[in-house]
Amino acid sequence: MVETEDTLESGDTTGLLPENHHIEDAPEHTDLNELLDDTKEIDLTNKSLNSGYPHFKVEVSKLEVALNVVLNIILTKNVYSKAVGLKANARTNTLRVYSSNFKHFFSYDIPLFRMGENDTVCEKFFAISYLVLKKLVTMRKREGYVLVYEKDDEFYFKALEIDVGGDFVLETMGATEDLLTCKDKPSEEYKNIDTGMLNCVLGALYPYVRSAPDPRQKRVYVANNVFYAQYMPSCARVNSIQDIPDMDLTNKDIKILLAIMDEVKDTQIVIKKVGQRFFFEGENFVFTTILDGETISPELFDGFDNLIFTPNNHSASVFIYRISGVVDMSKYVPYPYQRLQFNFDSYNNLLATMPTKRSPCVFTIGDVNPDVVVSPLGTPVDVSPTPLDAMLKIFENYNKVGFYLTPQGIGMKRSVVIGKHKINLESVLYTEAGITEIKNTKKQNQDDISDSSTVKGQNLLMIGLEKS
């Protein structure tokens, strides 16, 4: 090496510069900021990618909508539920995404992106792992679209910009189109259901039933255009503003439906059925599920109007954050004292009392209209904070709730306006006196029925009461 005046004094520079090369001979344009500038967009408008092979292109944002729903369908122990089926259609100019865990089937059509007249659409079905597809789609977020092409019976994913290359060979799974497609065809069709109403109701009841201790309570029932749910000795109901078929939706059904309504954002859903197979159809999607056909116990919900929400019972206006704070604090009290007691005082205030080892803590959580005179109950209403906490999840998106207090139990009610209609979110938590009264009513009704087979299946929602 020829030493120059540019040789660094700090040590040997062998290998840094070739012979007879001086630093001043380097190119002038060495601005680091310019070299690292990532604001320059690559023009892909007029470039025909892999036009010699059958392929399809879709927007990343639209494919992510489908993948966000698929995530809720996947079952941990079901390998095929982790497969995502893809099939493009040149006639409809769409890509259909398939997913199934064999109880639930979901398909979603995505418009193809910038496919020219000379482009050949790849119309072969193939399935790949959800996790792999999700990772690859994330790589393409900056470019905004995904391209897959077929070559020599292999499927390739364009992972990097065209000028760089970077084709990823997709490892397909054994799931076939028939395996991921529902074979049943609906025979009964119902009117369009407003997704705003369905999303509001299921969104309120899902966190309530999700944490129910008994698996048979982890569902929402629809009967006579009313939604019902139960958590231990408490239960909830919401009226429907539209005709809706009787059904029982499990936690999994509700979770998927909420994901669909949140991602797809259709304003209407058509419900169809054949036997116990229900179809929920939108503009670009179809979701199907098999229902269990469970029924409800009517006596449990008769207590709403006969015991709690009666004309003689007045409601207190309660801030959700106040009562939620009291319920949260009661969880940290030692076990024998994990109870809450409610009563009115002589000034129309609603009080919540938390027993402790030393002295009780009393909180004012609401008040009754001053034009109404409410007398304190002879005995405070004593309840467990656990089901009360579950009840509050129904109303967690609202500021206030109407709070009813009777010896038979606690009631909460909130009216919600959806378009030109109003629905009522209602929930009750029965006390021992309320449970006894409901059991007596149930026994009397059973004694009046000579054929016991007519009440088969009606004990399902009495589970929480029988355990209390």
Measure the CA–CA gap between 224 and 233, rounded to whole angstroms.
Answer: 23
Any idea what the CATH number is for the domain that residue 243 is in? 3.70.10.10
Point out the least confidently predicted range of 2-16, 311-325, 362-376: 2-16
Say yes or no: 147 and 63 in one domain.
yes
Of 106, 134, 169, which residue is a domain's last? Answer: 169
pLDDT at res. 457: 34
Confidence tier at 448 by pLDDT (50, 70, 90): low
Say yes or no: 393 and 350 in one domain.
yes
pLDDT at res. 39: 47
Residue located via tokens 């049943």:
184
Tell me the mean pLDDT in the region 110-132. 94
Say yes or no: 87 and 199 in one domain.
no
Number of domains in the chain: 2
pLDDT at res. 312: 84
Most confident of 42-51, 60-69, 138-147: 60-69
Residue 149 lies in a domain: yes
Confidence tier at 31 by pLDDT (50, 70, 90): low
Confidence tier at 419 by pLDDT (50, 70, 90): confident
CA 127, chain centre distance (Å):
25
Confidence tier at 30 by pLDDT (50, 70, 90): very low
Q: How far is CA 349 from CA 92, 236, 364, 366, in A?
A: 64, 25, 7, 6
Closest CA to 405 of 433, 372, 428: 428
pLDDT one-digit tens code per residue, 230-260: 998 899 999 999 999 999 999 999 999 999 9
Say yes or no: 311 and 414 in one domain.
yes
Closest CA to 147 of 67, 47, 80: 47
The one-letter amino acid at 226: V
pLDDT at res. 42: 44
Residue 182 lies in a domain: no
Is the pLDDT higher at 461 or at 182? 182
**Positive or negative CA dihedral for 75, 396, 66, 283?**
positive
Here the tokens at position 319 are 């801030």
pLDDT at res. 440: 82
Measure the CA–CA gap between 158 and 57, rounded to whole angstroms.
Answer: 10
Print the domain residue range for 83. 55-169
Point out the least confidently predicted range of 15-29, 250-264, 307-321: 15-29
CA 132, chain centre distance (Å):
23
Q: What is the pTM of this model?
A: 0.82
Say yes or no: 300 and 381 in one domain.
yes
Say yes or no: 303 and 373 in one domain.
yes
Say yes or no: 327 and 413 in one domain.
yes
Residue 29 lies in a domain: no
Q: Is the pLDDT of residue 222 over 80?
A: yes
pLDDT at res. 15: 44
Is the pLDDT higher at 43 or at 346? 346
Q: What angle do CA 395, 400, 404 make, to 5 degrees?
A: 85
Tell me the mean pLDDT in the region 289-312. 84
Residue 263 lies in a domain: no
Is the pLDDT higher at 336 or at 368? 368
pLDDT at res. 48: 46
Q: In whole numbers, what is the pLDDT of the chain averaged over residues?
A: 84
pLDDT at res. 123: 96
Of 169, 204, 220, which residue is a domain's last? Answer: 169
Say yes or no: 119 and 204 in one domain.
no
CB atoms within 10 A of CB 31: 9
Q: How far is CA 118 from CA 52, 114, 165, in A?
A: 9, 11, 22
Q: Which distant-in-sequence residues (6+ apart) come within 8 Å of 359 by Cβ?
A: none
Say yes or no: 226 and 369 in one domain.
yes
Residue 437 lies in a domain: yes
Confidence tier at 401 by pLDDT (50, 70, 90): very high
Say yes or no: 165 and 211 in one domain.
no
Residue 37 lies in a domain: no
Q: Is the pLDDT of residue 350 over 50?
A: yes
Which runs of E-coded beta strand occur in 69-163?
A: 83-89, 94-100, 105-111, 126-129, 145-151, 154-158
Residue 214 lies in a domain: yes
Say yes or no: 322 and 376 in one domain.
yes
Point out the least confidently predicted range of 75-79, 131-135, 221-225, 460-464: 460-464
Point out the least confidently predicted range of 203-207, 248-252, 337-341, 457-461: 457-461
Here the tokens at position 374 are 């409410």
Measure the CA–CA gap between 221 and 247, rounded to whole angstroms.
Answer: 6
Residue 36 lies in a domain: no
Here the tokens at position 309 are 């929400």
Measure the CA–CA gap between 393 and 379, rounded to whole angstroms.
Answer: 27
Tell me the mean pLDDT in the region 344-370. 92
Where residue 15 falls (left for φ over 0; alpha for ψ -120 to 50; beta otherwise) is: left
Say yes or no: 400 and 361 in one domain.
yes
pLDDT at res. 426: 96
Any idea what the CATH number is for the domain that residue 158 is in? 3.10.150.10
Of 112, 137, 169, which residue is a domain's last? Answer: 169
pLDDT at res. 59: 96
* Percent of residues, the chain, with pLDDT higher than 70: 82
pLDDT at res. 17: 44
Compute the residue count for the chain. Answer: 468
Closest CA to 324 of 357, 365, 382: 365
pLDDT at res. 331: 85
**Phi, psi of 92, rounded to the nearest 5 degrees:** -90, -10
Measure the CA–CA gap between 18 and 303, rounded to whole angstroms.
Answer: 92
**Residues 117-153, buried b or exposed e (16+ Cβ, 10 A)?**
eebbbbeebbbbbbebbbebbebbeebebbbbbbeee
433 three-state secondary structure: helix
Asked whether the beta carbons of 82 and 130 are under 8 A apart, the reply is yes
Tell me the mean pLDDT in the region 416-434. 91
